[in-house]
A = this chain, B = another copy of it.
């Protein structure tokens, strides 16, 4: 059995509530990760699609964040009820779920509608 058909990384980073940036989980536990793994297994893809926890993916203002390779498909603001659609559409049929994708303008940017730049130093 060769490489993975798809490799999913679910951010499980957490920060204290008073931190300067938010984080994708409140305590390191990710329901998204659990549901994604269960969904992949139920779809019979357990050996072909790998679902991993990852450290901070640096899309903190858009979490919970998920990235799928190949293709570097970014999902943001993923809710538990979104997971079955990601599994059935993207992971089974190879069709990314457009409505859940993180807008290109929100990726790796210091400023976007969800992320404000830090205040200028006086």
Report which of B9, B72, B74, B108 forms a contact with A70, defined as CB distance below 8 A. Answer: B72
Report which of B50, B56, B57, B107 forms a contact with A58, defined as CB distance below 8 A. Answer: B50
A27 at the interface (CB under 8 A from B): no
Contacts of A72 in B (CB 8 A): 3-4, 7, 69-70
Contacts of A67 in B (CB 8 A): 7
A4 and B67 alpha carbons, distance in the complex (Å) = 11
A19 at the interface (CB under 8 A from B): no
- Chain A, interface SS category: loop
Contacts of A57 in B (CB 8 A): 50, 52
A4 and B55 alpha carbons, distance in the complex (Å) = 15
Contacts of A4 in B (CB 8 A): 72, 108
Instruction: Contacts A72-B69, A104-B2 given; indicate if A52 touches B55 (C-beta within 8 A).
Output: yes
3 tightest CB-CB pairs across the interface, nearest first? A53-B55, A69-B69, A1-B108
Which residue numbers of A lie inside 8 Å of B, CB to CB?
A: 1-4, 7, 9, 47, 50, 52-58, 67, 69-70, 72, 74, 104, 107-109
